[in-house]
Chain A
Amino acid sequence: MQKKKILCLVWALMTAGLLIAACAQAPKSGGNKPVPPGVAVAIEGTKLKRLTLVEQAAKRIDLQTVPVREEQMVRMQKVGGEVIAPPEGSNKPSGAVLVRLLLSESDLNKVDKTQPGRVLTLDDEDNDQDEGVEAEMDEGPADDDSEEATSALYYAVNGTDHKLTPGQRVLVALALEGGGKRKIIPYNAVLYDPKGDTWVYTNTEPLTFVRHPIVVDYLDGDMAVLSDGPAAGTQVVTVGAAELFGLEFGAGK
């Protein structure tokens, strides 16, 4: 009897042990699944992805956008040159001087010969104000001894109050071809992909961003002048573009 009782006790203990073990919670992390800061969903038919950010994520990276502007652009370039006296026999008013610029052929072709240039002395080259003196295109002396690949460009400065002396070195701000009504965006909106194509991130709906191809013609200071891009008025991302790039293409080593 004693034996049976003890055996029963043992069996009870064993089953109890098994039950406890079965009920013991496996320590799993459970917890809330963290919300990702942004998702990238492929867009059908293209290689692009639609990026959607959580509002807090956009605030964290301080994301900013500006609209695409369309403006009348004049492409300016400063070229260094020398002031020379007008050649003998030219019918220039007294006091007038010529400015000679030595450019290569391909550069020469880019100059917009219809526009006047502005002559800046080297002292005030630092300030951006167009304080220079206006100068018009001129033919220049006939007996110009130019070499093969170089051509010289001449600008005439008329008037007597220009304070320029022959032999002085100056900079001439020229207008280049390719002006006109162009789309411009800040340069910090431009992203280069590894193959070299240029893109911006457009912000069409709130917190949604899609890459848009652009073609950059040239850069003017901080602004990029486009020959092709999103329509004027589209918001493009400036601050935070690199992070969106990382979201789309994957960050990390």
Chain B
Amino acid sequence: MQWIIKTSLQYRFLILIIAVVLVAFGVIRLSAMPVDVLPEFSPTYVEIQTEALGLSAEEVEALITVPLEQDLLNGVAWLEAIRSESVPGLSSIVLFFEPGTDLYRARQLVAERLTQAFALPHVSKAPTMLQPKSATSRVMLVGLSSKDLSLIQMSVLARWTIAPRLMGVPGVSNVAIWGLRDRQLQVQVDPERLRAHDVSLLQVLETTGNALWVSTLTFLEASTPGNAGFIDTPQQRLGIQHILPIVSPEGLAQVSVEGSNVRLIDVANVVEDHQPLIGDAQTGEGTGLILVIDKFPGSNTLQVTRDLEHALNELKPGLTGMQVDSSIYRPATFIELATDNLTRALLIGLALVVLVLGVFFFEWRSALISLIAIPLSLLAGGFVLYLLNATVNVMILAGFIIAIGVIVDDAIIGVDNVLRRLQYHRERGSLKSTSTIVFEATLEMRNAVFFATLIILLAVLAVFFLEGLAGAFFQPLALSFALAVLASMVVALTVTPALCLILMSNLSPRHRVPPLVRFLRRGYRKVLGRIAQRPVLAFAVLGLLLVIGLATLPFLSQSLLPTFKESDLIVQLSATPGTSQPEMSRIVAQVSNDVRAIPGVSKVGAHVGRAIFGDQVVGINSAELWVNLAPDADHSKTVATIQSAVNNYPGLAPNVQTFLEETSNPVIAAPGDDIVVRIYGHDYAVLQNKAEELKQALVGVNGLVDTKVTLPRQEPTLEIEVDLAAAQRYGIKPGDVRRAAATMLNGLQVGNLFEEQKVFDVVVWSTPQTRSSLTDIRNLLIDTPSGERVRLGNVAHVTIKPVPTVIQRENVSRYLDVSGNLSGRDYNSVKGDVERAINNVQFPLEYHAEFVGDYATRQAAWQRIVIVAAAALVGIFLVMQAALQSWKMALLSFVALPLTLVGGLVAALVTGGVLTFGSLAGFLAVLTIAVRNMVVLLKHLEQRQQYEGNPFGLDLVLHGSSDRLAPILMTALAVGLGLLPMVVMGDIPGLEVVRPMAIVIIGSLVTATLVNLFVMPTLYLRFGKAVPAIEPLTTEQGIQPGAVVP
């Protein structure tokens, strides 16, 4: 350390230049750093989605999910858990990897496995590994509406022009289109006309497929279209190309049916229509399209938003007749507003800090040096973050603000001590060079501060032992805090002494103590004089603080994350499973119109159900309304009105929250039940049976309450089961029935139409009247080999059965949970009893039960943290003792430290009584200041005895403490006033995290300063040890004997 200071003094101009370059670099680079609200807190995961339109949840599970899970995906390296959800039409498998797994390596391994997926049955589109998404995935919602264009025309534009362009914007990982109505050429057969003309369904399929260029049906000739070729004349080569004359439904309708003398138009309606819908969307103008745009992890929300808006602007001329609204959800607005407000608060705070420094230093040089050191430390810390490719988010910001105490204090005490020493030596007419004085003064301070820094670093040690999601949240905070503290230390060792030497060489020897400081010192000495000799008073004050602190605790509530004043809300609606799309669209339109009419709401967009590659794995009965609030609206009042409006709808289970809450809730919400026993098996009826049996067995377990079985929701599903005997009479097989019914009820894609560089499906389906009720299904006509037609109801049982809406699998099996909560006994004994109960239940073949839930891991993690915290406390105590060389003083300081924070508790109580993690960070910040002040004060008193010939006694305490009065007050006022604008500006966007922090810091600074200025000197006078004087210092090298050299 000595070497560092000496070298910095020697090469002070070089240091200055480096500092200037750093500042310039920092200002330019850091302003371009990606900004987001929350850090990336989701674990490493890969999601695979397979679309199978028209397949029920059970069939999706059987035909797609199970083969994928069991044969292809299970056993991938570093896999921690494999979970899947099968909903009607979609299989979604999510693979969770061990913490710390590299995302791209994991994706590569999964991709290798997926190459085998071609072997899946031909009922779905190919399994697709979704692009990686940020934890706060959605970066923009774009609404499309038009009075002139139909929904199908808008869908074509959205799918073929807009979405591909937007996918090309850097940082965009996915664009999903809700409400997409794919343009299809549909041959809708009418069974009775088929019967009238004696044409079979197969003939229609073959005709339609073979009429086109390409068919996906392998049994059709059109599956091998053939290439046209080219001819060579003696001079030229002429390529040959075939032009499809069928460009519209009218063209296709005229094609004659194979094996018959009628045309398609005689047996079917040939129309342009769209596919069965899995979801829908509504913009302000009624039904429309909503594009949901997701971003990559770690991408810059602001930059991506700007690029997206730029791309949309470029496309606008080609989208006449269509309104494009890119502000339904735009998180960049909140980030911009928040950054604005925060910057404003910081600038005002900075002005106040300048004021404080000016008044107290009363000397422009010292004020300037301090003012340079503070932002320099912050920039240095930010620069390291930039090198680490970090994103600026509230956690990083909080870490910096916690360190502000350290940074300001470092800047002030360094300069203040140099000034004081210079003055001291000049007054005594010493001939020591400025360089030596600066060196000694800096070293003196750094020795004292070394211990304080060690204590602070021990205090944050526990954070690095947090695992999982809490770790993902708080490790950025600890990292930025540690970086800021280290940067501050480096600056204090290098730049501050260099600047001091440069600027203060010509300090006038007549430099006097500033008048304000003189005045304050006088008053302080008077008051302290009266108190210092009554240690009882000191204890009384400590006791009072303790009582007040304990009294406030029951009134304070905790909430981890504050409510961000985002201007966007999500209203989630869930109708009962099995609700139809027309009904959902109707009721969502009702709710949207209701909400739109509320004053303060500027925009409402809604999406129902799913979209291809969307992030909602739900049935059509689920919907989300995205509500945009006007900037000048009364936020909480509007939210309350919206809440009561949507609560007025029966049977919809509404839920109002912000997007950040929705994404972070699964992470930080209170975990579920304490004891969870998971029964794995394949039949829900058997699982339910065993679950009930287990639940009964658990009733007798002491200490377990609220035992329940979580059953999956069920919805009515039509089951068609062929009666083999009846089918045999007509000569048809179950597969024939399925294929015929599937074509009539779901449609079968027989080929493609290539037009204008787009590809459209050609589908054979049935007329809507053929498939709109249960009776219609029973009446479906199935062709038999003999040429006659038989009704579906005569060869199959058509019944309605309950089927789970969402089939969840974990670790490659279906399951049911039996869960309960602990009450009265400890986890391990209850677990033992439960395990015994499990052993007494007979499970059939392939069924078994397991303990799940993270209670045990949570306990273990909690224990680990407690141990580390305890070790840290012991370490802090020992360091204190080493610093103060006195067990008694160490103990007293150790006890006094937490009591300095009571002021913050009171301040929090007065301003709302809610402690967020920002408040806790504020406590840490003040703790750092209080520790430093305490240690520096006591060390200074020691040094006065050792080197300045001030013997132990009241006089020492009075003068030694008044020496420290100015820097302590300066730090407290600088930090307090610097953060004051945040409190005064109110609860506005951007200040949600830092305002509670500022409140707590200001409150605690009051008590901390009082304790440090009045209580600690008193206690020292009573309990401190006298320290022998040492031969006054400095040899020419400037080494102080007896100084601690780290």
Query: What is the interface of chain A, defined by CB distance below 8 A to chain B?
Result: 3, 6-7, 10, 13-14, 17-18, 21-22, 24, 26-27, 34, 36-38, 51, 53-54, 56-57, 60-62, 78-82, 102, 104, 106-107, 122, 125, 147, 149-150, 169-171, 187, 192-196, 216, 218-219, 239, 242-253
Contact = CB atoms under 8 A, between A and B. Distances in A.
A93 to B, nearest CB: 25
Contacts of A192: 578, 716, 800
A79 B551 contact: no
Contact of B775 (A6, A51, A219): A219
A170 to B, nearest CB: 7
A53 B644 CA distance: 16
Interface in B553-605: 554-555, 557, 574-576, 578-580, 583, 586-587, 590, 594
Contact of A80 (B196, B536, B583): B196
Contacts of A17: 544, 547-548, 551
A21 B800 contact: no
B791 A107 contact: yes
Interface string B795-807: 0000111110110
Contacts of B195: 79-81, 102
B650 A194 contact: no
Please indicate which of the listed interface residues A51, A80, A250 has the most CB atoms of chain B within 10 Å of its own CB. A80
B650 A195 contact: no
A16 B226 CA distance: 96
Interface string B602-615: 00000000000000
A204 to B, nearest CB: 18
A7 to B, nearest CB: 7
B551 A22 contact: yes
Contacts of B454: none
A10 B716 contact: no
B773 A251 contact: no
A169 B197 contact: yes
Contacts of A242: 575-576, 579-580, 583, 587, 651
A169 B195 CA distance: 9
B544 A253 contact: no
B552 interface: yes
Main secondary structure, interface of B, reads: mixed
B534 A6 contact: yes
Nearest to B912: A27
A104 B789 contact: yes
B801 A195 contact: yes
B802 A18 contact: no
Contacts of B527: none
A79 B653 CA distance: 47
Contacts of A147: 786, 788
Contacts of A78: 192
A253 B729 CA distance: 44
Contacts of A3: 534, 536
Contact of B909 (A24, A125, A253): A24
Contacts of A106: 791, 794
A53 B193 CA distance: 48
B430 interface: no
A149 B794 CA distance: 13
A251 B574 contact: yes
A13 B583 contact: no
A102 B575 CA distance: 46
B551 A10 contact: no
B130 interface: no
A245 B266 contact: no
Interface in B747-801: 773-776, 786, 788-791, 794, 799-801
A247 to B, nearest CB: 4
Closest 3 CB pairs of A and B: A80-B196, A246-B651, A196-B800
B261 to A, nearest CB: 11
A171 B196 CA distance: 7
A192 B777 CA distance: 15
A54 B648 contact: yes
B540 interface: yes
Interface residues of B, number: 72
23 contacts: A3-B534, A10-B544, A18-B547, A22-B551, A27-B913, A37-B648, A57-B649, A60-B594, A61-B587, A80-B193, A104-B789, A169-B193, A171-B192, A193-B716, A194-B714, A194-B716, A194-B803, A218-B775, A242-B580, A250-B576, A251-B575, A251-B653, A253-B574
Given A219-B775, A219-B776, A196 B551 contact: no
Nearest to A62: B590
Contacts of B789: 102, 104
Interface in B9-55: none
Nearest to B196: A80
A84 to B, nearest CB: 13
B708 to A, nearest CB: 15
Contacts of B552: 21, 24
Given A102-B195, A194-B802, A243 B652 contact: yes
Contacts of B579: 242, 245-246
B622 interface: yes
Contacts of B788: 102, 104, 147, 149-150
Contacts of A24: 552, 555, 909
A27 B558 CA distance: 12
B194 interface: yes
Contacts of B548: 17, 21
A232 B143 CA distance: 47
B730 A149 contact: yes
Contacts of B663: none
A74 to B, nearest CB: 16
B799 to A, nearest CB: 6
B680 to A, nearest CB: 22
Contacts of A80: 192-197
A106 to B, nearest CB: 5
Interface in B150-203: 190, 192-198
A149 B555 contact: no
B196 to A, nearest CB: 3
B913 to A, nearest CB: 5
A122 B583 CA distance: 34
Nearest to A243: B651
Interface in B635-650: 644, 647-650
Contacts of A27: 555, 557, 912-914
Contacts of B544: 10, 13-14, 17
A80 B540 CA distance: 103
Given A18-B547, A60-B594, A251-B575, 8 more contacts: A21-B548, A36-B647, A53-B650, A62-B590, A149-B786, A195-B716, A242-B576, A246-B650
Given A150-B788, A253-B618, A246 B196 contact: no
B931 to A, nearest CB: 25
A175 to B, nearest CB: 16
A151 B537 CA distance: 113
A249 B647 contact: no
Contact of A60 (B551, B649, B775, B912): B649
Contacts of A171: 192-193, 196
Nearest to B730: A149
B193 A125 contact: yes
Contacts of A187: 773
A14 B540 CA distance: 9
Nearest to B544: A14
B713 interface: yes
A244 B551 contact: no
A170 B622 CA distance: 46
Nearest to B715: A194
B196 A82 contact: yes
B914 to A, nearest CB: 8
A221 to B, nearest CB: 9
A122 B653 contact: no
Nearest to A148: B786
Nearest to A123: B266
A195 to B, nearest CB: 6
A249 B729 CA distance: 43
Contacts of B509: none
